[in-house]
A and B are shown apart, each in its own frame.
Chain A
Amino acid sequence: MSLTDDRAALDQWYTLGALRDFPVGAETPSRLLGEDLTVRRLSDGVEVRAAGRTLPVRTDYGHLWTSFGTPEHALFALPESQEPDRRWIHCGPVRVRASGLRLVENFLDLAHFPYVHTDILGSEAHPEVAKYEVEQRRDVDELWATKCEFYQPKAAAASDEGQISKYMYRVVSPFNVMLYKTPPTAPDRWDVIALFVQPLDEAVSVAHAFMLVIDETSTDAELSAFQQMIFVQDKIVLENQRPSLLPLQPGRETPTRADLSSVLYRRWLKEKQLRFGTEPRTDLQSTDLPNA
């Protein structure tokens, strides 16, 4: 496979991982959107090269970001990264044999908690997802789901009892998503848990989970282990999902998980005419442009 020609996918920022995973002086191979890359960390910066050309680079939020194209928007804002009492936890890259869009959609889905993260993020006795609100914020081109609530037996590493967690979800680009949820020890604030997806190929992705959390008791190892446990529970489900590419064609997938946020997410991807990681559509004439 070689670099995609999908303009909508090319014109985005993608993470290649935590900056600290690229040692100064070293050359690290990587991959993005079907193309091999080389990352060179110099004492005064980072260089990302692909097929003889140098790509734009950013180093926000402890991560390395790049793009093959010209992103329409600046990299998303993350004001919580300025708060001094937040713990920064990089949970490490995990490779998943699934479309990156499937990873994002699964991340947005509250309904799977009782079944996939049983007795941790949900319990089979409380499977109902209460009504929540979704909106597309056109000024920043982000999707938000707000006023989500869910009963969780063990909401986070520091939990010692169940709680009703409040959630907000925020999709900042097709492959980058984050959620805000109630920390067990600071109910008036929001923990931030981000999932930055690096799509290697259409059906192979690397998930970079990253947290900015309020927790004065857990060790880094405990915080990271908790998130990795959750994510690897999802991995096995994601890798068994068929089709492994996200279907955008109407009627192609029984909308079992098509709750509000997933409907909005798919509509937004169609509006962008994004193709990388989606199932080829047969309902469009070659002269038609897919529309929302």
Chain B
Amino acid sequence: MPKLYDYVLSGSCYKVRLLLGMLGIAHETQAVDFFPGREHKRPEFLALNPLGQLPVLEDDGLVLRDAQAILCHLANKHDTSGNWLPRDDRFGPVMLWLSFAGGELMAISGARMIAMLNYPGDLVALQAKARTALRLLDDHLADRAQAGGLWLVGPTPTIADIATFPYVALSHDAGIGHEDYPAINLWQRQVRKLPGFVGMPGVPDYF
């Protein structure tokens, strides 16, 4: 059974919890004392992930770090529909948005740690980066909506939507509201309605 090394307030772990929920994959979790304990920087955890980051997934002897890699692995192994990780023309665009979710959008994660947990860093600079990323996402989703599309790529939800949702939904914790992003809000409502959706503390449910 896959085992997720998990922290309840981690948006990156939430990416994995979301897909586990939606695909109904039986799994176990192990709570890591990320804050305030910094257990992810202790030798036992560094042996699993030398980068000292959550999430980590163990599955049949495989040890995987990085939420996006884990989503690919789980969809590849467990999704029988073939839609969550499509192998046709949608594959490239799905990878593009996965990379965005683990890259530019992570400015929200950084800003959130500063605003909420008093981590060191430049909050204003990260918020500006986060807003740039959200603008780009909102424009893409507005174009998609114009063409009648609800999801980031193609006619069905994919792991690109799953990877992107958590930090968008958690942006309030980083001091960034959702007022300026109408297309994102429409899309968030769709994600929330998916079977198997699970929430997390800090993700608003007033959409």
Contacts and interface: CB of A to CB of B under 8 A. Distances in A.
Contact of A91 (B7, B36, B116, B172): B36
A221 B39 contact: yes
Contacts of B36: 18, 21, 90-93, 224
Interface in A204-250: 206, 219-222, 224-226, 228-233, 235-236, 239
A231 B117 CA distance: 13
A226 B31 CA distance: 10
A95 B115 CA distance: 7
Contacts of B35: 92, 228
B119 to A, nearest CB: 10
Interface in B179-207: 201-202, 204
A140 interface: no
Contact of A220 (B33, B173, B201): B33
Contact of B201 (A95, A224, A232): A232
Contact of B31 (A21, A93, A222, A235): A222
Chain A at the B interface: SS class: helix
Contact of B117 (A92, A222, A226): A92
Contacts of A95: 115-118
Nearest to B38: A92
Nearest to B204: A236
A92 B116 CA distance: 11
Contacts of B51: none
Interface in B14-47: 31-33, 35-37, 39
A239 B172 contact: yes
B105 to A, nearest CB: 20
A226 B202 CA distance: 14
Is the interface on chain A under 10, 10 to 19, 20 to 34, or 35 or more residues? 20 to 34
Interface in B141-179: 172-173, 175
A93 B36 CA distance: 8
B27 to A, nearest CB: 16
Contacts of B33: 219-221, 224-225
Nearest to A222: B31
Interface string A79-98: 00000000000111111010
B31 A228 contact: no
A291 B175 CA distance: 37
Nearest to A94: B116
A250 to B, nearest CB: 30
Contact of A229 (B118, B172, B201, B204): B201
Nearest to A21: B36
A220 B31 CA distance: 9
B8 interface: yes
A226 B116 CA distance: 17
A194 B173 CA distance: 23
B59 to A, nearest CB: 21
A97 B7 CA distance: 23
Nearest to A97: B175
A229 B8 contact: yes
Nearest to A30: B118
A221 B9 contact: no
Contact of A225 (B31, B115, B175): B31
Given A94-B116, A95-B117, A239-B172, A220 B37 contact: yes
Interface string B49-89: 00000000000000000000000000000000000000000
Given A97-B175, A235-B201, 5 more contacts: A21-B36, A206-B118, A219-B33, A228-B9, A229-B8
